[in-house]
Structure 1
């Protein structure tokens, strides 16, 4: 398959008519597979990706089950704001496809022209879809549009070739459901459960026809009740979908208002009183710390800046204090000396010792007491006592210096907090603006409460109907089981059961075979685009749970969820490349934002090994930060031609032009 052209008219962000020729060209005897489309973030790359799938599959291109009303609302939301009243919204594709899944005599390459167009008519949207095969209009009722395209190009298969950041992310996060979905699409296994259900339904209708009259009446009445409840459930499901949409719409309004409130300073306004109180407390703390620092600075702390001088002064002070202590002691001793001499004279006078010896004794004792006398020549400069000295030494210690520095750090921290608080207070908007937004939020919250209540009531009724349906189906099954036990039907039932069992075994075996092939292909693709050669030696996929296990050269497990963001993207890209290779289909590959999380080495490998070899036609939607001038130059020999999505800031619209983001013309 080759997508030849794509045309967008008034779709989403695209205004007017935008045409792209996507057919790969041959230059210098080499077919260049890559068509490079560049655009800044928000310019419309993903919108173009969305348009291709929408043109092909319509309502089925949207995720999940979507009602017709929801689909038309979606189409309405994709109408460009500036679409003239006399113009429609249109997506047009032409592609060529070799078909061999039909009558062999008709197998050949066909050309298809698809046009999906819609417009507003009153309060609703009208959609038209036309398909031309080899310039012949295929006339189909609206309900069969997507079925015809599904037959030509199964959506499950083309999903393997069209992938964006979201799909890569799903696989990168080891999403088993995403991988299982892709593998079943590859094998077209959805047909087997459908076939099994159809066989059982055919059998049920068969046994109903052969049932007795009473059983037939019960079956008929039960089937009527089932159909009635199914219709009610269909309406309730639609109503629940509408209610969910309304709840979501109100929530988005509230989110928008809360964002606006935040932008205008509302989040700070709500706590402004608290902020003001906090501001006052911090200012008081600043004053207190300043007083403490000022007190320190007014006394001895500045001397800490001259430690050598302080040391010498303290030594002199200690000498002076010691001298004073000696002088004080000397004074006490001299008093004691005089007292002892007086007592000695009295004792000698009253004693019976020879008087000639009195003077000798007195002189010896007096001489001994004279040794207590000492003179200090230190001049008193500081007039500091020992207690004051100890206090000064404590104030000039390292501990006091540390406290002094901590006070300064504390003051700096308080100032930072105070600055943050004051900025928040300044950011708070005026009362009128905030009150208005608050009133709108409160109003929307009341609406949300009512809409949520309506949604809950519908869901409750829906659950009741589902339970009633289960009971009816269970009763119907009991009737079938009773008839099954009859001799006439037991053999048929066993045959049906055997066929279903064989189909299940066939599905399991085919899955295991394809999974084994996929393991080898993932490893092959991974090695081509991963920067570490030999990093992975084996890939194992559980055919039942679809858990993926990777092993290194030492056969140690490498959990996928432990890979870096870039390695996860390489792994996911390898899985998608492997799936497309195993599909056996020759389809174009469309890749949106391919290099987002990759480092330079991984980007090099993708540009060298993946893009030129991924398919015969590779449409890449990229930003200039992914494929820049350097990578563009490296890819140039594989690029057929380029386009640039130009976004107008003034008009808020995009248009497609020639060239890439930094050059003009074709590659």
Structure 2
């Protein structure tokens, strides 16, 4: 069994810098808690990338690796490289698998796949494996086609329903993957090998027969029939490849069509971002126009610091002169009253007669006070200077404010343009408009027609091939019965290989039937643990390994809920783990989203029996921690959580969240 030990990530998605996730070293279930957007799906993708070199988005569509690197990492200022290092054990050996996606030149912007190189290395027990041995070992340990049975999310679970739909392209690919994990290709490849040997033996039989006059005609007929069969076999091989290619294309197109529901949101964001970009461009142009109009007085900005200092001094001087002017007015009024009192001998206020005053040392008209009129003139001059300096300062401040706003608007515009570029990149391969959607539908329909026509042609070629192979076998039997010294050894070889091929043909059919019976039995056992409906009795399997729920009255349950689709899918995955020679960990992202509380408990209870290593990526709204602790009990071997540093920086921490 393959067992994961640790995953080291460097600048992968939100996992900035180098971080390490260490798996528990004993059998059981681990929980990784994280809010939406923190990086649970990215961690699943990091494992997928480490093993298979791919990253999947919604609809199982591949994500461009150029967009995966952490954008906050300082070394990714021009390019977004990343790396994973996966340590694991398998059959007594320790492996370290390193996969990196690096820019050729990290100092400049890297915007396409051509700007990057991928690096891959595999160590087994500390020894580096060469490229060919490395690739063979990885294909043997965990082939890419069966990765979906170990790394999956709720969306992938939903696809298992396609196994019940005859002719479904997704279902056909799933069936092939299931047979691969069950080891069926071992027998089918052996059968193909024997068929190749039998073909070669019959060719030798024909040549031997041509050397004898009595069997020459039969030998010629066998050679012609064999050559015709070879041509038909080549046609079947080419058409099979074409069917596989078209099947993949249809599946990809169907996934794109399934993703249309999210495109409205993306299109809305894209259109809103376009409006924002246009608004910011217009605002930036308006600010530049205003600045251009003020450019003739731009020199004022240079004088602004000196003007500010002069204004402060001028304000103090105006305050001083104003005070002196007010004091002067008061003093002059008092002097006038005093002069009136001296001259008239009568108080100007109360009218009483006063005694004549003694002469003053300084006559009242000669008191040393400022002249208010002179001070008023001085104030007018000072205030005119003040207004001029304030206009100078105001123009400079306006220019500075406009320049600052223009700079900030340009920054905002650059950010908005980059966001728009990212949104448009996301929509590049999606039906981002009505025309694109119609084009996608048209391509899907045309590809399905091409696939149907190719399948029909393949079926016809296979019928002709079967007929020609029957003719070849009949001619070969006639030669064996005619017998001569030339063909005797080849006749016996053909007879032996024919028997062996028939034996393997029967073995493949019997093996498949036994596998289906066992999977049906094991999946039913798991389903009974997971299901909360007592009237659901068992599961029934079809030729494609699709599972149908049977009611206790024996009738199939039709139109089952999305929650039960997940329950059935988990039952199938558990059965495959038990029946497959390839067993490994189960890493699943948000598997409880469509399950009610009772079914969540049942799934938690059954998880430890599925495989020895299980990692659940969940959030607290999806799974109550107290329920998890209660149901998993001693089977819970570790907890981890994702800690937010920023929107683009997540850290993996040991233990449950606070």
TM-score, length-scaled by structure 2: 0.55
Answer whether contact 1:523 1:536 (CA < 8 A) is retained: no
Distance 1:78 1:205, change over 3 A: farther
CA distance in 2, matches of 1:145, 1:189: 24
CA distance in 2, matches of 1:444, 1:657: 45
Distance 1:155 1:448, change over 3 A: closer
CA distance in 2, matches of 1:94, 1:232: 41
CA distance in 1, matches of 2:84, 2:473: 55
CA distance in 2, matches of 1:236, 1:531: 41
Is residue 125 of structure 2 the alignment partner of residue 129 of structure 1? no
Q: Which has the larger radius of gyration?
A: 1
Is residue 95 of structure 2 the alignment partner of residue 112 of structure 1? yes
2:547 corresponds to: 548
Distance 1:244 1:444, change over 3 A: farther
Structure 1: runs of 5 or more not aligned: 25-30, 100-108, 267-436
Give 3-state SS (helix, strand or coil) of 1:624's partner.
coil
CA distance in 2, matches of 1:538, 1:446: 45
1:94 corresponds to: 87
Is residue 559 of structure 2 the alignment partner of residue 562 of structure 1? yes
Equivalent residue runs for 1:201-600 within 5 Å = 201-208=196-203, 259-260=267-268, 485=475, 487=479, 488=487, 495-532=496-533, 534-542=534-542, 544-553=543-552, 555-559=553-557, 561-583=558-580, 587-600=584-597
Answer whether contact 2:641 2:652 (CA < 8 A) is retained: yes
Answer whether contact 1:161 1:580 (CA < 8 A) is retained: no
Give 1:211 deviation, angstroms.
5.8
1:297 corresponds to: none
CA distance in 2, matches of 1:186, 1:626: 31
CA distance in 2, matches of 1:541, 1:217: 44
Give the total of aligned pairs.
458
CA distance in 1, matches of 2:254, 2:561: 37
Give 1:115 deviation, angstroms.
0.6
Answer whether contact 1:173 1:568 (CA < 8 A) is retained: no
2:151 corresponds to: 162
Answer whether contact 1:539 1:550 (CA < 8 A) is retained: yes
Among candidates 43, 48, 69, match of residue 79 of structure 1: 69
Is residue 139 of structure 2 the alignment partner of residue 150 of structure 1? yes
Distance 1:502 1:236, change over 3 A: closer
Deviation sequence 1:320-361 (CA, Å, 0-9, x none): xxxxxxxxxxxxxxxxxxxxxxxxxxxxxxxxxxxxxxxxxx
Give 1:22 deviation, angstroms.
0.7
Answer whether contact 1:536 1:551 (CA < 8 A) is retained: yes
CA distance in 2, matches of 1:12, 1:208: 58
2:641 corresponds to: 644
Distance 1:211 1:121, change over 3 A: farther
CA distance in 2, matches of 1:569, 1:94: 30
Among candidates 53, 57, 61, match of residue 52 of structure 2: 57
CA distance in 2, matches of 1:117, 1:127: 6
Distance 1:75 1:598, change over 3 A: same
CA distance in 2, matches of 1:498, 1:112: 43
Structure 2: runs of 5 or more not aligned: 106-113, 166-170, 211-219, 275-423, 480-486
1:604 corresponds to: 601
2:189 corresponds to: 194
Instruction: Please tell me the root mean square deviation across aligned C-alpha atoms, in Å.
Output: 5.6
Give 3-state SS (helix, strand or coil) of 1:557's partner.
coil
Distance 1:9 1:494, change over 3 A: same
1:171 corresponds to: 160
Deviation sequence 1:546-592 (CA, Å, 0-9, x none): 45344344x33242x43333233222222222221333665322122
